[in-house]
Amino acid sequence: MTWPTRGAPGVRRAKKKVALVSLGCAKNLVDSEVMLGHLKRAGWVPCARAEDADVVIVNTCGFIGPAREEAEETLTKVLELKRADPHKKVVATGCYVERDRARLEAKFPGMDAWTGVRSFDKIAAIVAGRPVSVADRTFLYSDASPRLISTPGTWAYVKISEGCSHRCGFCAIPLIKGPYVSRSAASIVREVRTLASLGVKEIDLISHDTTGFGRDRGLRDGLARLLERLDLIPGIEWLRFLYGYPEEITGRLLDAMAGSKVCRYLDIPFQHADPGLLKAMKRGMDGSRALRLLDRIRTKLPGAAVRTSLIVGFPGEGKREFSSLRRFVEEARFDHLGVFTYSPEEGTAVRGLPDGVSREEKEDRCREIMALQADISLAHNESRLGRTIDVLVEGPDAVTPGRWTGRGRFQAPEVDGLVHFALPPGSAEPPSPIVRVELDSAGAYDLSGRLAR
């Protein structure tokens, strides 16, 4: 599409450019990719730099306090760009807008448009200033949706559901996104076939509750059934799913993970280990049960890598409860681990509980758990030295010229470490999207090696 100059028929100027800043999680990134797809279909040209764009869109995250702070800092910066160039339009969308639009509108009056999580497919009309009808639920894309993949060409995210029907006491996601809604398995299969035809080798299934896939449609073991279908698609080499509830890791799912393409990798946020705190959090699996689940996983899937997320500083977390969490981390020996410091979220079940842990103590506990995990992660990585593993190529090393980066099956994109590797003398690039790397050096998070002969 070209943009005619008003009043001068036949005279054309360059297509208008749009930049989109995607904040927060991988699920937000997929929504951003779909918005870019709709904008490109409407004639817009995506560009990387907000400074160069006619329109800047910020897809906000409103999950926790630090995410909201990042969103506000970003909105401040794009409004500074607009002040320097009054012709530039700025649009805010996403979770934070859905959660607290009135307050944001009052704080940032210079924005040209606001929209939450229900109208991603109408972003071209919103940018153009046309009125749109707002759906009664969160937007969920399909294989028919236009989408510009922004991840490296070797892998892509596929969002399989939207919303969440769990009611964890600390989490605002159900308040923002609404109840759980699955895509159809057929739509997901069609999308993955299309991605395979584009050369994508790894599919990462994501949602707020990936292990609950199909439950709203009356399916049992919906994720296991989906993995079994995706395992048959030619061209796809690795399948991975991210974010699963501990109680939903079934025997059928573990059986499906034994398939040739499914990475033996589980992302299971346990949140804590202390039974009392977990009850207050409205979570169902304490540390003892979690350790038994880990034993079952590692027995069924030898070599499985497990990632978890934990919360420190939750109301009621005294020294005894924190010691219980520390012992849990020592015994569980996770391959990968992330820690959040608790922040009260408006509208959640535990919002009114006294926050008896100071911010400084929360940060100290976070650092203590991460230091403990760094030692465990280093031991895991050192145990891999001397092995030759499959590595999915990500791209040239950003720090060391002549080297490349990728990931093993035990590393998820963007949240885990990388494998850095050297090419043979005279080689300009890796010979294939998945290469064999002999590991010879290990850090707490990254590994290094060289292409196997």
- 122-148 tens-digit pLDDT: 999 999 999 999 999 999 999 999 999
Residues 29, 36: Cα–Cα separation, whole Å: 10
In terms of DSSP bridges, do strands 388-396 and 434-442 run parallel, antiparallel, or are they unpaired? antiparallel
Domain parsing of the chain, residue ranges: 3-127, 155-382, 388-451
If you classify domain 3-127 with CATH, what class do you get? alpha beta
Q: Binning pLDDT at 50, 70 and 90, where does residue 6 land?
A: very low
Of 234-248, 393-407, 437-451, the range with the lowest mean pLDDT is 393-407
Residues 8, 68: Cα–Cα separation, whole Å: 45
Residues 23, 43: Cα–Cα separation, whole Å: 24
Task: Please check the confidence at residue 167 and state whether its pLDDT lies above 90.
Answer: no
Torsion-angle region of 199 (φ positive above 0: left; ψ -120 to 50: alpha; else: beta) = left
- 22-62 tens-digit pLDDT: 999 999 999 999 999 999 999 999 999 999 999 999 999 99
pLDDT given for residue 400 in this prediction: 86
Hey, what are 215's tokens?
């439950």
- 301-333 tens-digit pLDDT: 999 999 999 999 999 999 999 999 999 999 999
Task: Please check the confidence at residue 249 and state whether its pLDDT lies above 50.
Answer: yes
Task: Please check the confidence at residue 10 and state whether its pLDDT lies above 60.
Answer: no
| 8 A C-beta contact, residue 161 and residue 181 | yes
Q: Binning pLDDT at 50, 70 and 90, where does residue 1 land?
A: very low
Q: Binning pLDDT at 50, 70 and 90, where does residue 351 land?
A: confident
Task: Please check the confidence at residue 14 and state whether its pLDDT lies above 80.
Answer: no
Residue 37's alpha-carbon distances to 141, 258, 303, 391, in angstroms, are: 11, 35, 39, 30
CATH architecture under which domain 388-451 falls: Beta Barrel (2.40)
CATH code of the domain made up of 155-382:
3.80.30.20
What percentage of the chain carries pLDDT values higher than 70?
A: 97
Q: What DSSP string runs through 311-370?
A: EES-TT--HHHHHHHHHHHHHH--SEEEEEE----TTSTTTTS---S-HHHHHHHHHHHH
Q: Binning pLDDT at 50, 70 and 90, where does residue 13 land?
A: very low
Task: Please check the confidence at residue 2 and state whether its pLDDT lies above 50.
Answer: no
pLDDT given for residue 347 in this prediction: 87
Rg for the chain (alpha carbons), in Å?
23
- 271-295 tens-digit pLDDT: 999 999 999 999 988 999 999 999 9
pLDDT given for residue 82 in this prediction: 95
Q: Binning pLDDT at 50, 70 and 90, where does residue 250 land?
A: very high
- 366-385 tens-digit pLDDT: 999 999 999 999 999 999 99
Of 50, 170, 134, 60, residue with least CA distance to 104: 60
Q: Binning pLDDT at 50, 70 and 90, where does residue 399 land?
A: confident
- 331-344 tens-digit pLDDT: 999 999 999 999 88
pLDDT given for residue 8 in this prediction: 34
- 78-87 tens-digit pLDDT: 999 999 999 9
